[in-house]
Amino acid sequence: MYKKKPFFIVFEGVEGCGKSFQSKKLFNKLKKNKIETILTREPGGTKSSELIRNLILKDYFSKNSKEKFDKYTDTLLYLAARNEHIKNKIKPALLKKKVVICDRFIDSTIAYQVDGKNVDIKFINNIHKKILRGIKPNIVFILKVSKNSSKKRLKKRKTKNRYDNFAQSFYTRAQRSFIKIANKKKNYFILNSSLNDNSLEIKIFNIVKKYLQIK
């Protein structure tokens, strides 16, 4: 029998790595097993955080590069969205012993803002100290993807994404950063997501089943 407990699962990876797809698959599988689960994302997840997300994404696509947000403004917006998200959605769900699946979390800030754009990590760590409220992911899946697969996936998307606005090297650096973070930690799983079959979702579910002690 499954014993309810707060459990926080995060998916990370660069654009086109399939994390949104995999998080949905996992969400559906847990629901089928009658496990109370919420699926959410960053930046976003609540009304106010989604408003901030729109601000950030709009800025990526604004044509006038002179008026783009400074990298610290950009970082503060991600952190502001995170603060709202943790306070109003993640923390309350964990207090109710739900499983929370989040598409991106703090490692995206390290990969994109710190390693990608040279934002001072101390600045971020200081703010995190206040806003994380003791929340830490129980497990993190880092989905690793080849350049070719991610490009192919992104081409199929109807909505525009940030990928077109940044150089490939930016993403190579971000992926390297995710892997570097994961290598230091026991509860991180680096999984290859370049194939387009269902082996990855099975692998992910098997790992989660072990942690949640479900059969």
- Which stretches of the chain bind ligand TMP, using CB under 6 A? 15, 42-43, 78, 103-104, 108-109, 112-113, 162
**CA-to-CA distance for 215 and 208, rounded, in angstroms?**
10
- CB nearer to ligand TMP: give 98 or 104: 104
CA distances from residue 123 to 75, 173, 177 in whole angstroms, order as listed: 10, 21, 18
User: Least distance (Å) from ligand TMP to the CB of residue 211?
Assistant: 23
At closest approach, how far in Å is the CB of 28 from ligand TMP? 19
Nearer residue to ligand TMP within complex by CB, 111 or 212: 111
Least gap, CB of 23 to ligand TMP (angstroms)? 10
Taking the complex as a whole, how short is the minimal distance between the CB of residue 38 and ligand TMP, in angstroms?
17
Q: For 4, which DSSP code? A: P
Q: How far apart are CA 74 and CA 81, in angstroms?
A: 11
Radius of gyration of the chain (CA): 17
Which residues on neighbouring strands pair with residue 40, listed in sequence order? 102
Q: Which residue is nearest to ligand TMP (CB)?
A: 112
Residue 46 or 108 with smaller CB distance to ligand TMP: 108
Q: Judged by CB, which is closer to ligand TMP: 40, or 212? A: 40
H/E element, 57: helix 47-61
Question: Closest approach of Cβ 165 to ligand TMP, in Å?
Answer: 9
The DSSP secondary-structure symbol of 70 reads P
Rounded-to-integer distance, Cα 116 and Cα 172, Å: 10
Between 93 and 106, CB nearer to ligand TMP: 106
Type and span of the H or E element at 100: strand 99-103
